[in-house]
Amino acid sequence: MNEHYLSQNLKLLRKRKGWSQDELAQRYGLSRSALSAYEIGSAEPGIATLIRLSEDFLLPIDDLIKRDLNALSQSELDMVAGGLRNDVTGKHLRVLATTVNADEEEQIALVPERAKAGYTGGYADPDFLSELPHIHLPFLSKHKTYRAFHIHGDSMPPIQEGSIVVGAYVDDWTSIKENERYIVVSRHEGIVLKYISGDWQKTGAFILSSSNPTYAPYPLAVNDILEIWQFAYHISDGSDALENGDWNDAFRQIKAELNELRRMINKP
């Protein structure tokens, strides 16, 4: 291995767990001298031991080796010890996959109802995204990345059943504002539009709530979340189809594109 932080990270994480060298060595079927060698950097664990360390400390192997955990603040270390992997900010999730048109303009991929189940597995795959329908909304900022999602259900009135919601990608979760609407993509909940609240940086969970009072708020673990998109606009068949503006030309263009999207969505 090249220069890395594995030895000092291992020592730090072991102590924060309250384990002695003997206890951790026994856990892995190692001698204390072997574990001591790992912690002073005179020897390196094999891949099987690295996998076990990653599972025990809820950290990716890449973080164990390459990230200097001693440089984190006390609160960040607390989150790491709780299994939040310092990805609680959302900054280290991944590089966002996007597609562009022939003019090298970034396209807005639409995730229709039929593709929502596949999205949680293919959200980072450019090939998957390229097969989705795309829309163009000229009034949106060119400095943000947007995605559109087909939303069903009655949990977020006045947004209507079957509307299309458009969100701007949130790459830093510390910028999330409480009690504002976000599109949250997670492994177990799928794609939902909700209000976000709660002291998630301490508890490790967002509180998601609806504008329909018949739906109770519920927590969603940060580690379960794949993406967060800040709600920007929604498109529907009603007179409230476009929020945050009253641009007649843009509205007519959106309506035309919406009709085409509905045709594509309903296409067998």
What per-residue confidence (pLDDT) applies to 21? 92
Q: Kindly report, residue by residue over 249-258, the tens digit of the pLDDT.
A: 445 555 565 6
What per-residue confidence (pLDDT) applies to 1? 42
6-81 has which CATH code?
1.10.260.40
What's 241's DSSP letter?
Answer: -
Of the candidates 184, 176, 121, 177, the residue with the CA atom closest to the CA atom of residue 147: 184
Task: Report the chain's mean pLDDT, rounded to a whole number.
Answer: 80
52: pLDDT strictly greater than 80: yes
Residues present in the chain in total? 268
Mean predicted confidence (pLDDT) in 40-59: 85
pTM: 0.60
Q: Kindly report, residue by residue over 73-84, the tens digit of the pLDDT.
A: 766 666 565 554
Using pLDDT thresholds of 50, 70 and 90, give the confidence band for residue 248: very low
What per-residue confidence (pLDDT) applies to 193? 95
Considering the chain, tell me which residue range(s) the CATH 2.10.109.10 domain(s) occupy.
Answer: 108-265
108-265 has which CATH code?
2.10.109.10
pLDDT > 70: percent of the chain: 76
